Structure 1
Amino acid sequence: MTGSEATPSFRLAYVPGVTPAKWVRIWNERLPDVPLALTAVPAAEAADLLRDRAADAGFVRMPVDRTDLSVIPLYSETTVVVIPKDHFVAAADEVSVADLADEVVLHPLDDTLDWEQLPGRPALERPATTAAAIELVAAGVGLLVVPQSLARLHHRRDLTYRPVMDAPQSRVALSWREDETTDLVDDFIGIVRGRTVNSSRGRSPRPPSEGQEGRSKDKPEVRKQAGKRAGKPGGKSVGTSTAKGSRTGSHTPTSGRRRKPRRRS
């Protein structure tokens, strides 16, 4: 079997914390004859994987070197601090970076946040991975500030997390090689962006069914007959009226006050 005769496939990479299940499901519904292969990749290696053509597209964390790559930012994540459940910070609904000033805050080598200045006090050593840092938090060595999806990914029963309102956020993006914008890549971009199967940008718009074509051809004649009936003497004229609906909504005021964490004496 030659390369041109081989069954096409689509290789999708994704970094920890990203859950591509929804988009994979839509892909399988729309392109059932094109297998989609998933590859988990560390955030720091995702861009090189795409440049090496080891994947057709991938979900990456920004910032990313855009040399030779196209990037579509998708969403930003809430940043949280991971803490033991009995830590005093757990008593707050949310915290600020200043609230962590006296705490040892771990900074793993695979950190995905773009810090101008690291929070808290540094640990003696940097953990190799976020997973290793989570274990150190559970051991009481320090705290960890990460995107919320990573806190959920490494969930432990003895740990919890709280939003850090003024910390930098991690942005997730879809990326691929600029010179490899294939039809399949464009199909996946359409899925991620929410295009319907009949979108004008789609490559294979669904043709109208036979019944729909028939009804479409009959519409002018129906209008013509309706006009004749409306013009007969004694006949009732049919009118239409429109009224603008008022838009209503509710607004619940929220207080700007947040509960500050209290240290135990």
Structure 2
Amino acid sequence: MKKRTSILSLAVTSLLAAAMIAGCGTGNQPQTGAGQGQPAGQGQAGEKKTLIMATSADYKPYEYHDLTSGKDEIVGFDIDIAKYIANELGYEVQVTDMNFDGLVPALQTNRADFVMAGMTPTPERQKNAEFSDIYYDAKNTLVSKKESNITKPEQLAGKKIAVQLGSIQEEAAKEMSKTVQGLQVTSLNKLGEIVEEVKTGRVDAAIIEDHVAKSFVESNPGLQFTTLETDETNGSAIAFPKGSPHVAKFNEVIKKMKENGEMDKLIQKWFAQ
């Protein structure tokens, strides 16, 4: 009798264990994000959904690392826009920092839901990504040492110029090299490296977007910048993977921000300093 009771107890215990394992096997898995087999934003009931934003956080005031609070935080114009849009659509944003030339590939491999990095929707990029409406326009500038007196492209004959790898400034420099004799183009990953190359004289100048150039020149008094006049615009847009369901909804919020004055507030906050 004792032996039978022990066997019965063992059977009941085994059934309970199996039920517990089965209960843990489904319905309680961690939320998956972009590139993990489930679209980002599909959280559990009661959880706020998350979108992964890829950026290159060396582009002040669009996005950059801020250490003033005692911790490393990515802040900037693009970050504020992304958070506003996400909040309007019921999402939270997870920001991932990487090299600029890796941003579009991150979309193609589903490692990000969208990209914001002061990015212009060039025809080449549009082959590999979808873009939102333009949310901000800007111009290119020529950054150089003050004593160099370099303020025009024609003064770069036989000289070296630095640009960010994968940027529209790189494209502009390559076009410039077709008409400016002997111009050598150096492409680097980070804008800080580019500015350092100009300061040390390893290159004679750099092409950088106007508001970003202003920020670097303010913190480096020995530098100057001159706007390059062109008929083309360097408007910034949000990039998405091809076929993304988020494009139309993001456009709706961008339109709303322009109409309700929120975009102007952020422009004043980050560029009128």
Which of the residues 183, 196, 199 maps onto 1:135?
A: 196
Q: Give, in whole Å, the separation in 1 of the partners of 2:130 and 2:166.
A: 23
SS in structure 2 opposite 1:10?
A: strand
Q: Give, in whole Å, the separation in 2 of the partners of 1:108 and 1:24.
A: 23
Structure 2: 5+ residue stretches without partners: 1-27, 32-42, 63-76, 261-273
RMSD of aligned C-alpha atoms? 3.4
SS in structure 2 opposite 1:65?
A: helix
Partner of 2:78: 20
With normalisation by structure 2, the TM-score equals 0.56
SS in structure 1 opposite 2:207?
A: strand
Q: Does 1:98 align with 2:154?
A: yes
Q: Which amino acid aligns with 1:49?
A: A
Structure 1: 5+ residue stretches without partners: 90-94, 199-265
SS in structure 2 opposite 1:81?
A: strand
After the TM superposition, which parts of structure 1 deviate over 6 Å for at least 4 consecutive aligned residues? none
Q: Which amino acid aligns with 2:186?
A: R
Q: Does 1:71 align with 2:109?
A: no
Which of the residues 27, 35, 50 maps onto 1:9?
A: 50
With normalisation by structure 1, the TM-score equals 0.57
SS in structure 2 opposite 1:194?
A: helix
Q: Give, in whole Å, the separation in 1 of the partners of 2:215 and 2:99.
A: 14
Aligned-residue sequence identity (percent) comes to 12
Offset at 1:120?
6.3
May I ask how many residue pairs the two structures share in their alignment? 189
Q: Give, in whole Å, the separation in 2 of the partners of 1:197 and 1:127.
A: 38
Offset at 1:134?
1.4
Q: Which amino acid aligns with 1:57?
A: F
Partner of 1:157: 221
Q: Which amino acid aligns with 2:256?
A: G
Q: Give, in whole Å, the separation in 1 of the partners of 2:255 and 2:240.
A: 15
Partner of 2:252: 190
SS in structure 2 opposite 1:133?
A: helix
After superposition, give the CA deviation of every residue in 1:145-175 in whole Å (9 maximum; x if it has no partner). 2222442454423222111214965442212
Whether the aligned pair in 1 keeps the contact of 2:161 and 2:186 (CA below 8 Å) is no
SS in structure 1 opposite 2:183?
A: coil
More helix by share: 2
Q: Which amino acid aligns with 2:226?
A: R
Q: Does 1:36 align with 2:93?
A: yes
Partner of 2:148: 87
SS in structure 2 opposite 1:105?
A: strand
